[in-house]
Amino acid sequence: MPLDFDTVGGLLRGFLPELVLTVWAMALLLDAAWHHRDEGATRRAGLLALPGLVFAAAAVVWLWASNATPAGLATSITVDKFRLAVDLIVLLAAALAVLFSLDYLERERIRVPEYYALLLFAAVGMMLLAGGEDLFVLFLGLELMSVCVYVLAGIDRRSPVGGEAALKYFLLGAFASAFFLYGIALLYGATGTTKLSLIAQQIAPLHLESHPMLLAGMALLFVGFGFKVAAVPFHMWTPDVYDGAPTPVTGFMATAVKAAAFAALVRVLLEAFPGLQPVWAHVIWWLAAVTMVVGNLVALAQRSLKRMLAYSSIAHAGYLLTALVGGSTEGAAAFLIYLLFYTLMTLGAFAILALKGREGERDVTTEDLAGLSETHPWLALAMTVCMLSLLGFPGTAGFIGKWYILAAATGGGYGSLAALLVVTSVVSAGYYLPVIMAMYMKPQAHDQAHAGIRIPRVAGVVLAVMVAALLVFGVWPNPVLGAARTGSHAFLPPGVASVSVHSQVPN
């Protein structure tokens, strides 16, 4: 279905998922204002947020099923299956965050109905990042997402640690946004356009391959993206912000924010600078290598489970960067595969942490999980599957995701980086496996060690489905692989036909 963005109808259909979610979030915000002081207003807002996410996902599926594509050159936003795949992952992460927040906010006495409107507005910004065809649209999406997440990090106004986390995130995020905006200005000065596809077309005719202004603009964009994806050395905000924010918000930041920022980075690299891959590949190589090494080594030293998962997310940013270094469609497909699995296993781990802890879960250590299998065997099993999947253990979805990242890296000629990924994954066993050992091989500290755990019915059902998905996709990943390959076809060179989802994607 061709969409003519020069007509109102075509533009509305192209923006349909974002429009649906924006209108729903605005209505939710009004409802929260009217019922702010009502008993149960926060839970009511959460339940009302879920249909908006479902309707937005239905709009994404409709665009996918109708093979919607821009009629002519995309201007501000594109409609391709890469964007739609990332949109579905973002909406999934947002829906899971809402479901895990329903009882968490009540338990922690965070009575702020606007919390759910902020989640929806943040998801809108992420979807703009996934589909932005213009650097200014990417910037708008980045800021919409960031402002909402700044507030969500400090949503518990009674927590001084949460306020500190929000302030740190805001100040460092403002610097990163400034770098990003300066990068856009320099790229516009070098090429005369902010459209991604037109930037690619301008580089060769104007002989800009080694132009200082173009290269400086790329470097500043990398700084902005590096901050949002928590790549070393732009990661220093991550442990403190993840530690201070409410745990469902931390899970949302570790998955959806990372997914959207990485999706925008993929689009910029493969649409605006495909001809400069030998130049930016060196930057991505070093970012990936340092991020994997630092993230895994520092995670080994953490006692707090929440901070350990924060550094774990930094290490996984390095894994995702490894998928991109070759600048190929195989890398884009591996990125989508791993992004989905990473979302499930990370949100699952944070959800279990939220069930175990209280008051932000900052004081929960690995030792606090000792003997969990005796009192809550199903919860211990769920945590075990999440830890093994994050480790990349065979039979789990995490193993499949890492396998395809390794295939993309070695296929692109980056065998040394693939080897480093394997080594750092082995290192990560040093902090994932002790969690499992504590649950199954150590006794409880005392008889009432896990007496405070209450598993709400909704959270229990959702967690069970997530764990089942990680196991099923670990042995039968074909549906996800086919969708990821189809999504990666958005970056095929012009004139190259899309191939069957069951065949190998060409470079």
Coil, strand, or helix at residue 405? helix
> Which pLDDT belongs to residue 501?
35
Work out the number of other CB atoms within 10 angstroms of the CB of residue 461.
12
- Which run of H or E residues covers position 2? strand 2-3
> Which pLDDT belongs to residue 459?
86
The pair of three-digit structure tokens given for residue 224, joined into one six-digit string: 């902005």
> Which pLDDT belongs to residue 494?
55
C-alpha distances in angstroms, 84 versus 191, 347, 378?
29, 21, 34
pLDDT tens string 148-198: 999 999 888 888 888 888 998 998 888 889 999 999 999 999 988 888 888
> Which pLDDT belongs to residue 359?
64
How many H-runs (helices) and E-runs (strands) does the chain carry?
A: 21, 2
> Which pLDDT belongs to residue 361?
65
Coil, strand, or helix at residue 304? strand
507 CB-near residues (< 8 Å, 6+ apart): 328, 329, 330
What angle, 0 to 180 degrees and rounded to 10, lies between the N-to-C axes of helices 377-391 and 415-441? Answer: 160
> Which pLDDT belongs to residue 348?
92
User: Half-sphere exposure of residue 343, counting CA atoms within 13 Å on the CB side?
Assistant: 26
34 burial (CB, 10 Å; 0-12 / 13-18 / 19+) is: exposed
Tens of pLDDT, residue by residue, the chain (507 residues): 776 666 777 778 888 899 999 999 999 999 888 877 777 888 889 999 999 999 999 999 999 888 877 776 667 888 888 999 999 999 999 999 999 998 888 888 888 889 999 999 999 999 999 988 889 999 999 999 999 999 999 888 888 888 888 998 998 888 889 999 999 999 999 988 888 888 888 888 888 888 899 999 999 999 999 998 889 888 888 888 988 889 999 999 999 999 999 999 999 998 888 888 888 999 999 999 999 999 999 999 888 898 999 999 999 999 999 998 988 888 889 999 999 999 999 999 999 988 886 665 677 888 888 888 888 889 999 999 999 999 999 999 999 999 999 999 998 889 999 999 999 999 999 999 999 999 998 888 777 767 778 888 888 899 999 999 999 999 988 888 888 888 887 776 654 444 333 333 333
Question: What type of residue sits at position 35?
Answer: H
